[in-house]
Amino acid sequence: MQKPIAGFAMSSVSPVISNRVYRQARHEEIMHAPFSLALCICTMDRPEVLRRCLASIVGGESLPDEIIVSDDSPNGEASKAVCETFVAVRYMRGPQTGLCANRNVVIRAATTDYVALLDDDALVSETFVVRAREAMSDLAENAILTGSVLERGKRIVAGGTSFWGHFT
Protein backbone atom coordinates (compact mmCIF):
# COMPACT_ATOMS: atom_id res chain seq x y z
CA MET A 1 0.00 0.00 0.00
CA GLN A 2 1.32 3.42 -0.91
CA LYS A 3 1.96 5.87 1.89
CA PRO A 4 -0.34 8.92 1.62
CA ILE A 5 1.20 12.28 0.79
CA ALA A 6 -0.35 15.46 2.16
CA GLY A 7 -2.40 17.20 -0.52
CA PHE A 8 -2.10 14.31 -3.02
CA ALA A 9 -5.22 12.37 -4.01
CA MET A 10 -4.45 9.09 -5.78
CA SER A 11 -7.90 8.95 -7.38
CA SER A 12 -7.40 12.27 -9.14
CA VAL A 13 -5.22 10.79 -11.93
CA SER A 14 -5.23 7.68 -14.10
CA PRO A 15 -3.62 4.52 -12.63
CA VAL A 16 -0.82 4.54 -15.23
CA ILE A 17 0.20 8.10 -14.47
CA SER A 18 -0.58 7.86 -10.77
CA ASN A 19 2.35 5.55 -9.93
CA ARG A 20 4.85 7.76 -11.74
CA VAL A 21 3.38 10.93 -10.22
CA TYR A 22 3.21 9.26 -6.82
CA ARG A 23 6.86 8.15 -6.96
CA GLN A 24 7.97 11.67 -7.93
CA ALA A 25 5.86 13.25 -5.18
CA ARG A 26 7.13 10.70 -2.65
CA HIS A 27 10.71 11.38 -3.73
CA GLU A 28 10.23 15.12 -3.22
CA GLU A 29 8.64 14.53 0.18
CA ILE A 30 11.49 12.27 1.30
CA MET A 31 14.21 14.63 0.09
CA HIS A 32 12.64 17.37 2.22
CA ALA A 33 12.06 15.11 5.21
CA PRO A 34 12.39 16.56 8.70
CA PHE A 35 15.33 14.29 9.54
CA SER A 36 19.00 14.48 8.65
CA LEU A 37 21.56 11.87 7.64
CA ALA A 38 25.34 11.63 8.08
CA LEU A 39 27.58 9.19 6.25
CA CYS A 40 30.50 8.38 8.55
CA ILE A 41 33.60 6.65 7.24
CA CYS A 42 36.39 5.17 9.34
CA THR A 43 39.75 4.80 7.64
CA MET A 44 43.36 3.91 8.35
CA ASP A 45 46.29 4.20 5.92
CA ARG A 46 44.25 3.76 2.73
CA PRO A 47 43.97 7.19 1.10
CA GLU A 48 43.27 5.95 -2.45
CA VAL A 49 40.59 3.54 -1.23
CA LEU A 50 39.07 6.42 0.77
CA ARG A 51 39.15 8.65 -2.35
CA ARG A 52 37.07 6.10 -4.29
CA CYS A 53 34.59 5.82 -1.41
CA LEU A 54 34.15 9.59 -1.16
CA ALA A 55 33.85 9.93 -4.95
CA SER A 56 31.02 7.38 -4.95
CA ILE A 57 29.19 9.38 -2.27
CA VAL A 58 29.51 12.80 -3.90
CA GLY A 59 28.63 11.28 -7.28
CA GLY A 60 25.22 10.20 -6.04
CA GLU A 61 21.79 11.57 -6.88
CA SER A 62 21.54 13.18 -3.45
CA LEU A 63 24.10 14.14 -0.82
CA PRO A 64 23.75 13.38 2.88
CA ASP A 65 23.63 16.28 5.33
CA GLU A 66 27.12 15.40 6.61
CA ILE A 67 30.05 13.33 5.39
CA ILE A 68 32.56 12.69 8.18
CA VAL A 69 35.85 10.80 7.93
CA SER A 70 37.58 9.61 11.10
CA ASP A 71 41.18 8.62 10.44
CA ASP A 72 43.08 6.19 12.66
CA SER A 73 46.30 6.42 10.63
CA PRO A 74 49.46 7.12 12.66
CA ASN A 75 50.15 10.04 10.30
CA GLY A 76 46.87 11.24 8.83
CA GLU A 77 48.31 13.64 6.28
CA ALA A 78 47.47 11.52 3.21
CA SER A 79 43.86 10.91 4.26
CA LYS A 80 43.44 14.53 5.29
CA ALA A 81 44.69 15.65 1.86
CA VAL A 82 42.15 13.36 0.17
CA CYS A 83 39.32 14.77 2.29
CA GLU A 84 40.34 18.34 1.47
CA THR A 85 39.70 17.64 -2.23
CA PHE A 86 36.00 17.10 -1.43
CA VAL A 87 34.24 20.27 -0.30
CA ALA A 88 31.50 18.54 1.65
CA VAL A 89 33.76 16.26 3.74
CA ARG A 90 34.70 16.89 7.38
CA TYR A 91 37.99 15.23 8.39
CA MET A 92 38.89 14.33 11.95
CA ARG A 93 41.60 12.33 13.65
CA GLY A 94 40.48 9.06 15.19
CA PRO A 95 41.42 7.80 18.66
CA GLN A 96 43.94 5.28 17.24
CA THR A 97 42.64 2.52 19.50
CA GLY A 98 40.84 0.36 16.94
CA LEU A 99 37.87 0.35 14.60
CA CYS A 100 35.14 0.17 17.26
CA ALA A 101 36.53 3.16 19.13
CA ASN A 102 36.93 4.99 15.82
CA ARG A 103 33.26 4.35 14.98
CA ASN A 104 32.19 5.61 18.40
CA VAL A 105 34.14 8.83 17.85
CA VAL A 106 32.66 9.46 14.41
CA ILE A 107 29.12 8.73 15.65
CA ARG A 108 29.57 11.28 18.46
CA ALA A 109 30.85 13.83 15.91
CA ALA A 110 27.70 13.57 13.78
CA THR A 111 25.05 16.22 14.37
CA THR A 112 22.32 14.44 12.40
CA ASP A 113 19.26 12.40 13.30
CA TYR A 114 20.58 9.28 11.56
CA VAL A 115 24.09 7.95 10.98
CA ALA A 116 25.23 5.50 8.31
CA LEU A 117 28.56 3.82 9.03
CA LEU A 118 30.64 2.95 5.98
CA ASP A 119 33.98 1.25 5.63
CA ASP A 120 36.53 3.16 3.57
CA ASP A 121 36.44 0.49 0.87
CA ALA A 122 32.67 0.84 0.38
CA LEU A 123 31.40 2.14 -2.93
CA VAL A 124 27.81 3.29 -2.61
CA SER A 125 25.32 3.29 -5.46
CA GLU A 126 24.10 6.54 -7.00
CA THR A 127 20.79 6.05 -5.20
CA PHE A 128 22.22 5.08 -1.78
CA VAL A 129 21.25 8.29 0.04
CA VAL A 130 17.83 8.45 -1.64
CA ARG A 131 17.07 4.84 -0.72
CA ALA A 132 18.37 5.28 2.83
CA ARG A 133 16.07 8.29 3.27
CA GLU A 134 13.14 6.29 1.87
CA ALA A 135 13.82 3.49 4.35
CA MET A 136 14.21 5.92 7.25
CA SER A 137 11.00 7.80 6.42
CA ASP A 138 8.91 4.81 7.49
CA LEU A 139 10.78 3.97 10.71
CA ALA A 140 10.27 4.78 14.33
CA GLU A 141 13.04 6.47 16.28
CA ASN A 142 16.08 4.43 17.32
CA ALA A 143 15.90 2.06 14.37
CA ILE A 144 18.88 0.24 12.93
CA LEU A 145 19.13 -0.50 9.21
CA THR A 146 21.43 -2.67 7.20
CA GLY A 147 21.78 -3.18 3.50
CA SER A 148 23.16 -5.77 1.18
CA VAL A 149 26.76 -5.74 -0.04
CA LEU A 150 27.88 -6.38 -3.59
CA GLU A 151 31.21 -8.21 -3.44
CA ARG A 152 32.88 -9.46 -6.61
CA GLY A 153 29.55 -9.26 -8.42
CA LYS A 154 27.67 -11.28 -5.78
CA ARG A 155 25.04 -9.72 -3.53
CA ILE A 156 25.55 -10.57 0.13
CA VAL A 157 22.58 -10.00 2.43
CA ALA A 158 22.93 -9.93 6.19
CA GLY A 159 21.37 -13.05 7.65
CA GLY A 160 19.79 -13.63 11.02
CA THR A 161 19.40 -9.94 11.78
CA SER A 162 17.33 -9.18 14.83
CA PHE A 163 16.81 -5.46 14.28
CA TRP A 164 14.20 -3.40 12.56
CA GLY A 165 15.09 -2.58 9.01
CA HIS A 166 16.79 -3.59 5.80
CA PHE A 167 17.15 -1.89 2.45
CA THR A 168 18.96 -2.98 -0.71
What is the per-residue pLDDT for 149? 64
| Alpha carbons 97 and 86: distance in angstroms, whole number | 26
Burial group, residue 49, by CB count within 10 angstroms (0-12, 13-18, 19+): middle
What is the per-residue pLDDT for 10? 37
> Over its length of 168 residues, how does the chain's per-residue pLDDT go in tens digits?
344 333 333 334 334 444 445 455 545 655 566 678 899 999 999 999 999 999 999 998 889 999 999 999 999 999 999 999 998 899 999 988 888 899 999 999 999 888 889 999 988 889 888 888 888 777 766 666 666 666 677 766 655 554 444 444
DSSP secondary structure, 39-64, as one string: EEEEESS-HHHHHHHHHHHHTSSS--
Crossing angle of helices 47-58 and 77-84, in 10° steps, is 20
What is the per-residue pLDDT for 167? 46
104 in Cβ contact with 134 (< 8 Å)? no
Task: Pick left, alpha or beta for residue 68 (phi over 0 → left; psi -120 to 50 → alpha; otherwise beta).
Answer: beta
| Alpha carbons 40 and 45: distance in angstroms, whole number | 17
Cβ-proximal residues to 107 (8 Å cutoff; 6+ apart), any chain: 40, 115, 117
Q: How far lies 29's CA from each of 7, 10, 12, 57, 114, in Å? A: 11, 15, 19, 21, 17
What is the per-residue pLDDT for 108? 93
What is the per-residue pLDDT for 98? 87
| Alpha carbons 94 and 92: distance in angstroms, whole number | 6
Which pTM was predicted? Answer: 0.71
